Copies of this chain bind each other. A is one copy, B any other.
Amino acid sequence: MTTQIFFALSDPHRQEILLRLARGGPQTTLNLLKGIGATRQGATRHLLILEEAGLVKSEKRGREVIREFNPETVALAQQWFTDLESAWDSRLDRLRKQYETK
């Protein structure tokens, strides 16, 4: 689950797109395309990957598709880091206790 999120963020174009969506709010594909050195199809592909990872929501409005940043999924990724750190911390704790009881 989180692997998909991390994969979506492992590309500079996708990072840039997501940041711009968070900053600039809901936008069309063509708008997001500007400033990124990519074709329309390239940008669309990246947006689909971001959407499949849950980082972006999309809504069809007339002939255009509006993409929107989805803040909920970010929490999932952050939780993974939190778990990793707590695994690390609890190990340090264990080592410390072991040392103290000697």
Interface positions of A (Cβ within 8 A of B):
2-4, 6-7, 9-12, 15, 18-19, 22-25, 69, 71, 74, 77-78, 80-81, 83-85, 87-88, 90-91, 95
Listed A/B pairs (21) with beta-carbon separation below 8 Å: A3-B11, A6-B6, A6-B9, A7-B7, A9-B80, A10-B10, A15-B80, A19-B84, A19-B87, A22-B85, A22-B87, A23-B87, A23-B90, A25-B91, A71-B85, A71-B88, A74-B81, A74-B84, A74-B85, A77-B81, A81-B81
Extra contacts, 12 of them, besides A3-B15, A7-B10, A22-B87 (Cβ < 8 A), are A2-B9, A2-B15, A3-B10, A3-B11, A6-B9, A15-B80, A23-B90, A25-B91, A69-B88, A71-B85, A74-B81, A74-B84
